[in-house]
Structure 1
């Protein structure tokens, strides 16, 4: 790695650390925001006159019935997609001479002996991410920790790391996997310009997640003054529940 690439990589790492810290800040505050927003939502309803609360109950039931119908349609669509994926996987040859684990939540396979990677693996982004994830999983997957002899505290810590790595893997997030691997002392390979590009992509995506969170009713309400909170709550009732209902 040239000096210029090394310095640029270091700079991008610092930027990524900052935006991820900002995302963590928003996510942690969002927990409190949701609690306070829900309390304000219920308080507003409880302060309505009895007749209005009855009308709201009937209106809400209609809204919920329509949403339930849409959720059932989405669930059926997802079920059909999973069946199609399962059928496709059955038609794919699987290497039998390696120790294989199945991720209980995603159904994905990964190998716990990362030094024996299939020849079909490539050096593109997905291939590199897969290799890095397997190395991390070989040290942190819950199935590997059961008979490890680690203390409960260490098992809990590694399970948390595995969860973080799995989420990064599912998002094709090389930066987070890289950070986890470095913390675990795992070899990450030679760094070059493409890795810098991947960090830049991660920064943009992370900033996008922060921006989306900042536009949510809950967040806007939480960060507003009392007058703004009242106005935003009324907008929430109207846009989300069409309340009060449109006449005619």
Structure 2
């Protein structure tokens, strides 16, 4: 069996209990060495083989999995954050299906959740934003034309932008072209939940300057939208005394 496990956003204690147990039981671990906290590997059992996928191709990763299966070994494919977000897992799963190898997924804490925790941020505020767009800039690898940054910016929703900290000048331009004002709140969160985490509140217009002055050009999320400064939001209806729910009558009827 192959288990795709989310390692969490950085802090070793943000892996799930299930993910930790799978690491402890694994005979083979293939981990994303450029991003996964290596301290998680201290949970492995004696004799467990470890491979760093940062130095491997897809074909090499799959071959390790196939070899482990032939020997009756259990493999953990350890991805950063949650495997479903920029984890390149579908192509691995397709290869396993073609080879008749079973697999399961174990979710993890994505860095966009870690970034919200670092900022004490709620992405979805009443009358501010009720949608979160998770995306990235086109760089060495493209994005579909319909998902270009300016197209998403037109929605004025909260945006969480991955893999784009090295293109902040262009990102700022595309956000403004799409409809955000230069004064729209923004944030840079470097290495969310890691010991050297850094958070910077700025605006869409000062993203590039903030990145330069703070020395942030990679391993950071960009968050855009009025939810960043959490001002001028409406109180939620759910906990309002005059709002009826399945479990509570309005105060006026109690």
Same fold (TM over 0.5): no
Q: Which structure has the higher relative contact order (CA within 8 Å, separation 6+)?
A: 1
TM-score, length of structure 2 as denominator length? 0.23
From the CA coordinates, give the structure whose radius of gyration is larger. Answer: 1
